[in-house]
């Protein structure tokens, strides 16, 4: 087990170096934050003065050397726009994004798994296609379109729910629905294929031989086995929810890191952009590793190996 974790960490480290280098150079090609900070009639001297204050002067390679020197000590620089250490800005907003994710996954599973089971039970039949259609609907609807519609219907017209921002539980409903529906298709499909695989196996036959009711056979014996691949989806989905939350956080004014990444790109806030992407990669890698280890507890075959 230890050797495996070590190898994964080493691979992660290489990935981080690659990501950091790419984002450092890519970012600078997209232009300069100073143009966005100066009023449109600023004089050229104002511009050079500001560039100096922000430390963006000097050849790009020197800047890269300084960046690497500081990054090694964990200092990823000050965000130009937020005027605070980029790492701090990231961790200020991270909980807001993370808090949405478990609910979205829960919603995705609550809808996806039953649909998957129903589809597997009626394979090839009408219900299989119906469940498939409902599940795929989540992937088919563009999330920002869905978000805006939900706000219009449930908040403005019906007035049941607040239309945006963080706050009490009622604030969570619409963003979680928007994020969650996107996952339903994934959960449905993996549950369906896992169930089909399990339903053909011998111990299910034995369960029926014991005279257990069909429901117990399906919902206890089969489903419990089908949950193992479902769990590995968490790792994949959490990663995607983090990178993909830009749209939902924009529509629902949710101050998460998705929105932070978008602003960092739009305002060319290089230090913040570099910090966000590096920290995000670390986060996703550790989550994948975490799911792997958690996986051992779900599948007894691994736990005691």
Partner 1 sequence: MLRHIVTTAALAVALVAAAMAPAQAQDQKGTLVFAVESLGAQTLDPILEGRPGNAVYQAAMYDSLVGFDFAKGGVGPGVAERWELSPDGLAWTFYLRPGQTFHNGDKLTAHDVKFSLERQMGPGSLAAAAATMRRTIKNIEVVDDLTVKVRTTSPQIGLPAGLSRAVAPEGAIMPKTYIEKVGEEEFRKKPIGSGPWKFVRNVPGDRIEFTAVTTPHWRGRPHFKDLHFLLVPEESTRVAMVRTGEAGIASIGPETMLGASRAGLEVLSVPGTMQAIFQFYGTWRPEVKDSPVAKVRVRQALSLAIDRKQVIEHVMNGKARMPHPFATFGYTDFFSAERWKKWADEAYRYDPVLAKKILAEEGYPNGFELKFANTALPGTQFMIDIGTAIADMWTKIGVKVTLKHYEWGSFPPLERGDQAQLIGWASMYRTAGRPDAPWRYNGGFSPESTQRLFGDKDNCNETCQEFVKTYRALGSELDRTKRTVLTDKMVELVSNSWIVVPILEGMGYYAINTKKVGQFAPIAGRHELGDVFERIPRPEQKPWKK
Partner 2 sequence: MTVETVLEVRDLHTHFFLRRGVVKAVDGVSFSLRRGEVLGLVGESGCGKSLTALSLMRLLPKGGARTIKGEVRLGGENILECTPAEMREIRGRRISMVLQDPQTSLNPVFTVGDQLREAIQRRKRAPRAAVMEEAVAALRRVEIAAPEQRIGQYPHQMSGGMKQRVVGAIAISGEPGVLIADEPTTALDVTIQLQYLKLLKRLQAETGMAILFITHDFGVVGRMCDRVAVMYAGRIVECGPVRQIFEAPQHPYTRALIASVPKMTGPVGRLATIEGQPPSLMDLPAGCRFASRCALVEQRCLDVYPGTVRVGEEHTADCWKAASS
Partner 3 sequence: MALAERPHSTDAVARRLSLWRLVWPARVPGGFRRTARVPWIPIAIISVIVVMALFAPLLAPYSPIDQTLRDKLLPPAWMAGGSDKYFLGTDAFGRDILSRLIYGARVSLIVALLALTAGGGIGLVVGIVSGYVGGAVDSVLMRLVDAAFTFPAILFALLLAVTMGQGLGTLVIAISLLLWASFARVIRGEVLSLRQRDFVALARVRGCSAPRIMLTHILPNVLNTFMVLVTLNIGVVIIAEATLSFLGAGIPPPTPTWGLMISEGRGRIADAWWVALIPGIAITLMVLSVNLFGDWLRDRLDPRLRQL
- What is d(CA 197, CA 292) in angstroms, rounded to the nearest whole number? 22
Site for partner 3 in 43-102 (CB under 8 A): none
User: Which range of residues in 78-86, 110-118, 124-132, 194-202 is near partner 1 by CB under 8 A?
Assistant: 78-86
Q: Which residues pair with 85 in a beta bridge?
A: 78
Asked if 267 is part of the footprint of partner 3 (rule: CB under 8 A), the reply reads: no
Asked if 251 is part of the footprint of partner 1 (rule: CB under 8 A), the reply reads: yes
- C-beta of 6 vs 206, nearer to partner 2: 206
Asked if 197 is part of the footprint of partner 3 (rule: CB under 8 A), the reply reads: yes
Shortest distance in whole angstroms from residue 116 CB to partner 2: 17
> 239 and 98 in contact (C-beta within 8 Å)?
no
Asked if 51 is part of the footprint of partner 1 (rule: CB under 8 A), the reply reads: no
- What is d(CA 257, CA 254) in angstroms, rounded to the nearest whole number? 9
Shortest distance in whole angstroms from residue 271 CB to partner 1: 13
Shortest distance in whole angstroms from residue 110 CB to partner 2: 21
Residue 39's binding partner, choosing from partner 2, partner 3, partner 1, none, with beta-carbon cut-off 5 to 8 A by kind?
Answer: partner 1
**Which are the contacts of 208, defined by CB distance < 8 A and separation ≥ 6?**
214, 217
Asked if 15 is part of the footprint of partner 3 (rule: CB under 8 A), the reply reads: yes
Asked if 151 is part of the footprint of partner 1 (rule: CB under 8 A), the reply reads: yes
Shortest distance in whole angstroms from residue 304 CB to partner 1: 46
- What is d(CA 45, CA 121) in angstroms, rounded to the nearest whole number? 72
Q: According to CB under 8 A, which one of 36, 38, 106, 149 is a site residue for partner 3?
A: 149
Asked if 235 is part of the footprint of partner 3 (rule: CB under 8 A), the reply reads: yes
- C-beta of 46 vs 197, nearer to partner 2: 197
User: Which range of residues in 9-17, 38-46, 50-58, 95-103 is near partner 3 by CB under 8 A?
Assistant: 9-17
Give me the DSSP letters along the chain. -HHHHHHHHHHHHHHHHHHHHHHHHHHHHT--HHHHHS-TT--HHHHHHHHHHHT--S-HHHHHHHHHHHHHTT---B-TTT-SBHHHHHHHHHHHHHHHHHHHHHHHHHHHHHHHHHHHHTTTSHHHHHHHHHHHHHHHS-HHHHHHHHIIIIIIIS--S--SSS-SHHHHHHHHHHHHHHHHHHHHHHHHHHHHHHHTSHHHHHHHHTT--HHHIIIIIIHHHHHHHHHHHHHHHHHHHHHHTHHHHHHTT--SHHHHHHHHHHTT-HHHHHHHHHHHHHHHHHHHHHHHHHHHHH-HHHHT-
Site for partner 3 in 129-148 (CB under 8 A): 129, 132-133, 136-137, 139-145, 148
Asked if 280 is part of the footprint of partner 1 (rule: CB under 8 A), the reply reads: no
Shortest distance in whole angstroms from residue 109 CB to partner 2: 18
- C-beta of 11 vs 84, nearer to partner 1: 84
Q: According to CB under 8 A, which one of 87, 194, 222, 272 is a site residue for partner 3?
A: 194
Q: Which residues of the shown chain bind partner 1 in the complex (CB under 8 A)?
A: 30-32, 35-50, 53-54, 81-84, 89, 92-93, 96, 148, 151-152, 155-156, 159, 162-166, 250-253, 255-256, 259-260, 266-268
């Amino acid at each position: 087990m230890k050797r495996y974790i070590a190898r994964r960490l080493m691979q992660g480290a290489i990935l981080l170096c690659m990501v950091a280098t790419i984002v450092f150079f890519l970012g600078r090609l997209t232009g300069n934050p100073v143009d966005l900070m100066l009023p449109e009639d600023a004089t050229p001297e104002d511009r050079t003065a500001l560039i100096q204050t922000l430390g963006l002067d000097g050849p790009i390679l020197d800047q890269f050397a300084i960046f690497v020197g500081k990054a090694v000590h964990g200092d990823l620089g000050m965000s130009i726009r937020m005027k605070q250490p980029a790492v701090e800005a990231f961790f200020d907003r991270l909980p807001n994004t993370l808090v949405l994710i478990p609910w979205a996954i829960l919603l995705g599973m609550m809808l996806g798994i039953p649909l998957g089971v129903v589809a597997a039970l009626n394979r090839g039949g009408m219900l299989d296609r119906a469940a498939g259609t409902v599940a795929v609907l989540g992937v088919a609807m563009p999330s920002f379109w869905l978000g805006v519609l939900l706000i219009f219907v449930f908040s403005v017209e019906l007035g049941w729910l607040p239309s945006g921002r963080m706050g009490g539980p009622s604030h969570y409903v619409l963003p979680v629905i928007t994020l969650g529906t996107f996952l339903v298709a994934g959960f449905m499909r993996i549950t369906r294929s896992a169930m089909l695989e399990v339903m053909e196996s011998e111990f299910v036959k034995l369960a029926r031989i014991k005279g257990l009711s069909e429901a117990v056979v399906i919902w206890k014996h089969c489903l419990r086995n089908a949950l193992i691949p479902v769990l590995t989806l968490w790792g994949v989905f959490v990663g995607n929810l983090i990178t993909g939350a830009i749209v939902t956080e924009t529509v629902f004014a949710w101050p998460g890191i998705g929105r932070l990444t978008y602003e960092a790109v739009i305002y060319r806030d290089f230090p913040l952009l570099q910090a966000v992407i590096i920290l995000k990669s670390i986060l996703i890698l550790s989550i994948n590793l975490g799911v792997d280890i958690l996986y051992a507890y779900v599948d007894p075959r691994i736990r005691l190996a």
